[in-house]
Amino acid sequence: MEQNRPDPSVAGSPAQFTDALNRLRAWAGEPSLRTLRDLAHPPGALPTSTVHDILSGRRLPRMPRAEFVDAYVTACLRAYDEAAHVRDAQDGDARSEGARSEGARSEGARSEGARAEGAFRGGESTEDVLKQWRETWRRLSDAGTGVMEVRDDAQMPIMVSSPRRAEPARPASARSAPARPAGRTRPARRIPWPAPPRIARIVPAVALFLAGILVGGLGVRFLPLGLLPPAVPPEVECLSDLPPVRPGATELLRNGTFDNAATEPWWTNATGLSLTAANRALVAHVPDRSGNPWDAMVIQRDLQLRTRASYVLTFRITASRPGPIRVVLQDDVDYEPALIRVVRAGPRPCLVSVAFSGGPDTNTGELAFQAGSRQPAYSLTIDDVSLTATF
């Protein structure tokens, strides 16, 4: 294995697989996220925000998609290959001009051969390396890490090295000049722009200042009227009784009444957050200073959401101490929300019913009670949870 390239087969969990992805990037020379995006195939397969979320572990314990793993590993191999070309060019500076020309021609021939065969500088084919990562990905996905899509073995053609740009034709007098070493180019000549007149520099600044005053004035004028979106999610009020279920509505949640003292399919994303079911209710024990609201969530996934559907969400909630709880219904892949509300939970039971419509069109929706806080530990009790839809 070329210079201790990370071996994905030793990963036994999604967290270790993510660590292997980070070590592969370090092995490739620590290319930036924009460099990986530019080297990705097909183009657009590695958005910088997606790569950052996956490498930082924000999407754990879910595994990344198979398409992302293929594009990411291929981009790292291409980055390593290009870094090797740069190192070869720097090593060639110590040789004479004639030796550098001969070395550049021979190295170019070897590089073209490697590109034709789909191999990187380690001598091992790109397909062999991708096969190792795919096998580890399938093993961890089959273990039940929440990946919703598995790609078949049909792969798109992958280019490891960047294609050569066509060089412009040179005059006959320049063809006899000694060849320039590979990787070294003559810096482009910069032509200074003439300085704009003083009035041209003042007018944009004045226009920007006046635009800021206009936008601020409109915000102060129309914010009390509700014409501008609120800065925080709206709060819902507690009801004295829950409304009746609409006829013809379809229940989307499973185990919303906790009759059998079971917690499945509800689960949490925090290590210290535990769930128990008793007295037909779900009790979440939130740890001390759990952080942001989304750092400690009670979740149910795989909900079928439709853009043109009408929904009614009802539940009863109590907490051992007063505090805000965020209720979010969204797509768990793209995080496009259909509902975001805040409930002021406390020792007194609070009945909540929210009717809404619209949202994403997906089969991977999730309902989450975001209970994280920077306060001491407390317990949160939820029961009679129902999400009905009229399609």
pLDDT digits (tens, 9 = 90+) for 193-224: 555 666 767 878 888 889 988 887 766 555 44
Place of tokens 């009746």: 244
Looking at residue 320, its pLDDT comes to 95
All domains in the chain, ordered by first residue? 8-163 (no CATH), 250-390 (2.60.120.260)
Peptide bond into 42 cis (omega under 30): yes
294-319 residue pLDDT tens: 999 999 999 999 999 999 999 999 99
323, 284 contact by CB (below 8 A): no
Beta carbons within 10 angstroms of residue 239's beta carbon: 13
Asked if residue 234 has pLDDT above 50, the reply is yes
Closest CA to 84 of 122, 30, 115: 122
Place of tokens 């509800």: 266
Kindly report the pTM of this predicted structure.
0.44
Mean pLDDT for the chain? 79
Looking at residue 267, its pLDDT comes to 93
Q: What angle do CA 90, 94, 95 make, to 5 degrees?
A: 115
